[in-house]
Structure 1
Amino acid sequence: MITIPYLTALTTYFSYGLLFAFGQLRDFFRKIVDWWSHNSLQDCFNRPISSPPDAWFDVVERISNDNNKTLKRTTRVNRCLNLGSYNYLGFGAADEYCTPRVIESLKKFSPSTCSARVDGGTTTLHTELEECVANFVGKPAAVVFGMGYATNSAILPVLTGKGGLIISDSLNHNSIVNGARGSGATIRVFQHNTPSHLEKVLREQIADGQPRTHRPWKKIIVVVEGIYSMEGELCKLPEIISICKKYKAYVYLDEAHSIGAVGNTGRGVCELLGVDTADVDIMMGTFTKSFGSCAAQQITSSIKVILGEDGSSRGGNLSALGLPQTTLHHCCLYLIKTSLICAFLNAGAQKLAKIRENSNFFRSELQKMGFEVLGDNDSPVMPIMLYNPAKIPAFSRECLKRNVAVVTVAFPATPLLLARAAYAFLLLTQGKTLLKL
């Protein structure tokens, strides 16, 4: 739980009040004459890059002759340290192991099947990758989807519906929120990463049963994330699993930011926290981050969840729901497969050790310098709290002047008082070098 100093909260509220008042005043005069219609923050967002998202990348310079009302790209670029990317292990850029094999795969497979998987778009590469993913995380089966957001928003409505109960962490990703809402199930929220409150909610809901009828719930699913992307905190998974076992609830774990990034061999929070993957009923993760590609993965603890009890249940529609709208490119699939092999059989062990070392060093040094940094050790996500809205553009611009590329986040993506420089991912750069910039 973030404790906000009283003076900080007061000045932040005052700043937002001032911003609101001047915004209303500007909008009033804009109706008369368009003399002040620029967005002063526009230059801090959507900065284009012209290189792979490696530890260092090229940020295209933009200029404005009308106070940021419009921005024009130039031919100049700045070489910046990349602290705004999900490319945790560097596989999103050129890799001496993966890149040649991906190029070679195009000689055997076309770039795309030009068809949805359920029609004519499933090849041997898809099935090989699904087997590889399932073996990697220690599950009997896996389904590969075309998009991480769609995985959460499409799978939850398949797993449960009316008469079911979804208990979600209060800071879960928007894809989980939308998936839960689309399921038709009853939704309850527990305090962020607080197992004791989860148990209280579970006990109350089981005692009350379904609304109006008070019948027992058909299914109860507790949804959590491995690493929370805006907080950098590790899920208290052992305690949550213990509670779910006690009350016979299913566990749905979103490992978008943890799979491939934490654990001795990159197998996520289960490996890091010593949790048996058999105790997690549904595991979801993405390939867009540590594995440097696209698509998402959906791993389950039982083949029956994927195929359905008799092949015709709601579970049998799992792949039909998520896959028809997407075409997975073969080069991306092969990159995932090679990065899985490379990451944890060859150079991956060194990369994982490096990101842990850099992350923990960088976090501790920032704290020594007086920054308020969220998150836990070993987490590659390090949000730095800014609070005041005036600091958001100032921090972003000053970092860019020093050739450091960061992403700032404020309301409504975060609560009003909790603006931050989020996504400070330390990649493979030297932490000591960064602190000298």
Structure 2
Amino acid sequence: MIKIPYLTALTTYFSYGLLFAFGQLRDFFRKCIDWWSKSNLQGYAPICLGLEDFYIRRLYLRIQDCFNRPISSSPDAWFDVVERISNDYNKTLKRTTRVNRCLNLGSYNYLGFAAADEYCTPRAIESLKKFSPSTCSSRVDGGTTTLHAELEESVAKFIGKPAAVVFGMGYVTNAAILPVLVGKGSLIISDSLNHNSIVNGARGSGATIRVFQHNMPCHLEKVLRDQIAEGQPRTHRPWKKIIVVVEGIYSMEGEICKLPEIVSVCKKYKVYIYLDEAHSIGAVGKTGRGVCELLGVDTADIDVMMGTFTKSFGSCGGYIAGSKDLIDYLRYTCPAHLYATSISPPAAQQIISSIKVILGEDGSSRGALKLAKIRENSNFFRSELQKMGFEVLGDNDSPIMPVMLYNPAKIPAFSRECLKRNVAVVTVAFPATPLLLARARICISAAHTREDLVRALEVISEVGDLVGIKYFPDEPEKPPLKGDRIKLE
């Protein structure tokens, strides 16, 4: 539960109300000018219409320099951010030739594989020479190489499932799989804060959708009990299939799923579980096998295990792991497998190699050291932010740390001030989050050194004072983690 200070909530509502009022006033005069000049297409409905369009034009475009920042290096612990300028109040942005070397607190490079790696990079280059950058074909035509077969075997073994199938894009993995698994007459029960790819996949399935309160197994059980008792709308026939969809780590909250309790509820009512481990696979657990390993859940209790390679593995694409019958069915029916271009061979080799490093099959202990490092870095950084008075969401061990901003004016202020001090952060606002819950989402990597984190904390503390986002400055200071020594001005 997010604790919003009363004054903060009041000023946030007031700020958005003021922006909305002035924006509507400007739109009124704009319509008058368009009507007078008759420059619009007569007889055509506006292509862009609605509150989303209003938000983009009147709010987002004013601060778009805080988003889509181009980089000119690999997304390592430090990277090069290209400077942009605007001569029309941010309506258009032009790249310059200048770059700033910035500390990277925004990329999903959890284990540091996104930069050059002594084991992964040479093998990815060799696969590029042998197989080319793309198969130029879907998997069922000419797009299955020996690397794809090896990758699927490696993923299934790593996850702990009999079989797996991989796709070229993580978002599409959810959006394309859910409509194949369920349809009309079926029921999807989704966590209220599930990712947009799950939301769109559920909507596209034609199944009935019900939502349970975020990470609350007790409310999930109530929804399940009610829906099983009522049955399908109008006919009240039993549901053909019921599937509960949750995430391992929620990408905008940094919270770890209460998986043991949810599994218990699903077993009680004999319903399927679909687990999205996009942000947890490779990042948590003793050997990087995700929330099941972290929380002691048997993977046999999870019916459909989904994940992506775009975070911990430093590559692209996604996977579904499950029973052999399920995976065979998906190969025959899923449009992402039948029609989309297969995952790039160098990207596939990168995943295979990174899994081998994580498991220690490269002949070193680097994988175990990376996992220990990201856990240590994440818990240290979260603890220090909380001691400073920031409102930080999420759980220990999670590498995602949302720092609440709330007020719309603080979104660009925090982002720009951090960039001035050579720290690159990602700010997130509507529509990725509810309108009033804007935040900065900090992502920690095993590639960050303790000096990097200390530098980041100094900058964030300074900018937090300047912008006014230390909402709990009077909370009692927690004791530092063992061995940690940090001095902040």
Q: State TM-score, norm by structure 1.
A: 0.82
Q: Return closer, same or farther for 1:18/1:113 CA change in 2, 3 Å cut-off.
A: same
What CA distance in whole angstroms lies between the structure 2 residues aligned with 1:84 and 1:38?
Answer: 45
Q: Deviations over 1:316-369 (max 9, x none)?
A: xxxxxxxxxxxxxxxxxxxxxxxxxxxxxxxx1111111111111010100110
Contact 1:374-1:384 at 8 Å conserved across structures: yes
CA gap 1:308/1:198 in 2 versus in 1, 3 angstroms: farther
Percent of pairs with identical residues: 91
Instruction: Give the Å deviation of 1:217.
Output: 1.1
* Structure 1 position 303, deviation (Å): 22
1:310–1:153 Cα change, 3 Å: farther
Whether contact under 8 Å (1:148, 1:296) holds in the other structure is: no
Taking a change above 3 Å as real, the CA distance of residues 311 and 267 of structure 1, as seen in their structure-2 partners, is closer
Match of 2:11 in 1: 11
Residue 33 of structure 2 is matched in structure 1 by: 33
Change (3 A) 1:299 1:226: farther
Q: For the residues of structure 1 that align with 2:392 and 2:35, how far apart are their CA atoms?
A: 40
Post-superposition offset of 1:107: 3.4
- The 1:32–1:184 alpha-carbon spacing in structure 2 relative to 1, beyond 3 Å, is closer
CA contact (8 A) 2:189 2:244 kept: yes
Distance in 1, Cα, partners of 2:416 & 2:35:
25
Say if 1:234 and 1:298 are closer, same or farther in 2 by CA, change over 3 A.
farther
1:161 Cα deviation (Å)?
1.1
How far 1:218 moved relative to its partner?
A: 1.2
Structure 1 residues 214 and 308, CA, compared in 2 at 3 Å: closer, same or farther? farther
Q: Is the 1:266–1:352 Cα contact (8 Å) retained in structure 2?
A: yes
Shift in Å at residue 313 of structure 1? Answer: 44
Matched residues in 1 for 2:190 and 2:118: separation? 41
Aligned alpha-carbon RMSD (Å): 7.1
Give the gaps of 5 or more residues in structure 1.
315-347, 422-434
Q: 1:166 to 1:299 in 2, by over 3 A?
A: farther
Q: Is the 8 A contact 2:212 2:219 kept in 1?
A: yes
Offset, 1:150? 0.9
User: Matches of 1:190 and 1:408 in 2, distance apart?
Assistant: 27
Contact 1:280 1:301 in 2 (8 A): no
Matched, 1:126 2:148: yes
Q: In the alignment, is the contact (CA less than 8 A) between 1:252 and 1:280 conserved in 2?
A: yes
Contact (CA 8 Å) 1:141, 1:302: kept in 2 or not?
no
How far the C-alpha of 1:297 sits from its partner, in A, is: 14
Moved over 4 A (4+): 29-41, 295-314
Q: Cα 1:87–1:28, aligned 2, differ >3 Å: closer, same or farther?
A: same
Deviations 1:259-302, CA, capped at 9 Å, x for gaps: 01111111000011111101000000000111011189999999
Report the Cα offset of residue 163 of structure 1.
Answer: 1.3
Instruction: Tell me the alpha carbon deviations over residues 45-82 of structure 1, each in whole angstroms, 9 at most, x when there is no partner.
Output: 11110000111000011122333233221111111111
Task: Say whether 1:93 aligns with 2:115.
Answer: yes
Give the TM-score of the pair, scaled to structure 2: 0.73
How has the CA–CA distance of structure 1 residues 304 and 407 changed in structure 2, closer, same or farther, with 3 Å as cutoff?
closer
CA contact (8 A) 2:202 2:209 kept: yes
CA, structure 1 residues 214+402, in 2 after alignment: closer, same or farther (shift >3 Å)? same
CA distance in 1 between partners of 2:306 and 2:256 (Å)? 16
**Helix, strand or coil at the partner of 2:223:** helix
Alpha-carbon distance change, 309 to 215 in structure 1, aligned in 2, over 3 angstroms:
farther
Query: 1:348-403: per-residue Cα shift (whole Å, max 9, x none)?
Result: 11111111111110101001100000000000000000011111110000110111
Q: CA deviation at 1:307?
A: 28
* Structure 1 residues 410 and 224, CA gap change in structure 2 (3 angstroms): same
- Separation in 2, partners of 1:245, 1:34: 61
> Match of 1:229, SS?
coil
Counterparts in 2 of 1:206 and 1:37: CA distance versus 1, 3 Å: farther
Q: How does 1:47-66 map to 2 (within 5 A)?
A: 47-66=69-88
Structure 1 range deviating more: 85-94 or 23-32: 23-32
Tell me, in whole angstroms, the C-alpha distance in 1 between the residues paired with 2:362 and 2:376.
48
Q: How many residues align?
A: 391
Task: Name whichever of 15-24 and 297-306 sits farther off.
Answer: 297-306
Give the structure 1 partner of residue 161 of structure 2.
139
Contact 2:314 2:351 in 1 (8 A): no
> Could you tell me how far 1:304 is from its partner in structure 2?
28
Give the 3 Å change call, closer, same or farther, for CA 36–252 of structure 1 in structure 2.
farther
SS in structure 1 opposite 2:148? helix
Structure 2: which 5+ residue stretches go unaligned?
A: 42-63, 317-346, 441-485
Whether 1:436 and 2:487 are equivalent positions in the alignment is yes
Q: Structure 1 residues 100-109 or 391-400, which shifts more?
A: 100-109
**What's the offset of the Cα at 1:247?**
0.2
